[in-house]
Amino acid sequence: MHDGLMPNQKSFLPLNACESSEPASQNDSSCHEMTLWHVLIDQSQDGIVVLDSSGGVFESNKKFADMLGVSISELRQFSVWDWDAMFSREQLIDILDVVDASGMSLQSKHRRKDGSVFDVEMTITGTVYRGRKLIFSICRDISDRKQLERDLLEREERFRQLSIVDELTGLYNSRHFYDQLEMETNRTNRHQQPLSLILLDIDDFKQFNDRYGHLEGDLVLARLGKVLSSCVRREDLAFRYGGEEFTILLPGTNRDGSSVLAEKIRTAFQAEKFIVHGHPERSMTVSVGVAEYRFGEQMKSFVGRADQAMYRAKGQGKNCVCTEI
């Protein structure tokens, strides 16, 4: 990596047709040709740089030099790898070697003199001029277009997240749960690795809602979402299953390991304190069921066993963890 553009040791000056040793009539024709050449490239709205086969600058218009923040005389001291910030020197040499009259189009990143980088789209063509291979490159700054593309991708990702994330708790929603459950059970069947499911339900949540109102109930749901997020591992997936029910998928974890996490969640949530104006501080609890996947079983059966374990926890007085029988 260069800290801004670094000059090459060689200077590749353009051939000057007007200083040719050819007869006058031929020299006049060459001068006219060269003058027309400069007029055409200087009036281009795109940056144009002509390289020789070794990567040095044979000619350039001011537009291209301005894109890099240098003068044309400075630019002639550089080779293409001094400003290209995407391809390696070896890759650039290969491109210069293979490009011919049929040309090619590619995108890259160019580095300005101040070290900043911008996106560029190039059309390059190889030709032979007076026995010397030259590479004619038309360069267009597409930074604005690439930024629009990145913004669009970010918006699409946000919309995608909104479609699979529960807004209140910040956890994945039930729609995404079934997508992930299918993927994880398929993976488990292929690799014969453990997979467990935790299903939990907030105890007496309806009574809490009826007494304190839905806004306070939403705060309880949101707080449980934070507890789950803080307790699960990076590879675990936590979901708001529906209402006051939540699920956690634990890839690579057996029933015993999942039971440990379930107990950690239960005690962490019980430690949370809820203050409703005009009422004494109180705690909330959850009943938790744990099941381990049986290779080849249907997803409905797997979820059903975790659900049954959770209802046993309810039947045993709530605020506890039960595993499948």
What residues act catalytically? 244
130, with CB counted inside 10 A (0-12, 13-18, 19+), is exposed
- DSSP E strands: which ranges in the chain? 47-52, 57-60, 104-111, 117-129, 132-141, 195-202, 237-242, 245-251, 286-292, 321-323
Element (H, E) at 224: helix 214-231
Size of the chain in residues = 325
174-191 vs 143-164: helix axis angle to the nearest 10?
A: 90
Which tokens is 109 given?
């990143």
Instruction: Kindly report each contact of residues 117-126 with a partner whose C-beta sits within 8 Å and lies 24 or more positions away, as own/partner.
Output: 117/85, 118/67, 118/143, 119/143, 119/145, 119/146, 120/47, 120/67, 124/95, 124/99, 125/99, 125/100, 125/101, 126/96, 126/99, 126/100, 126/101
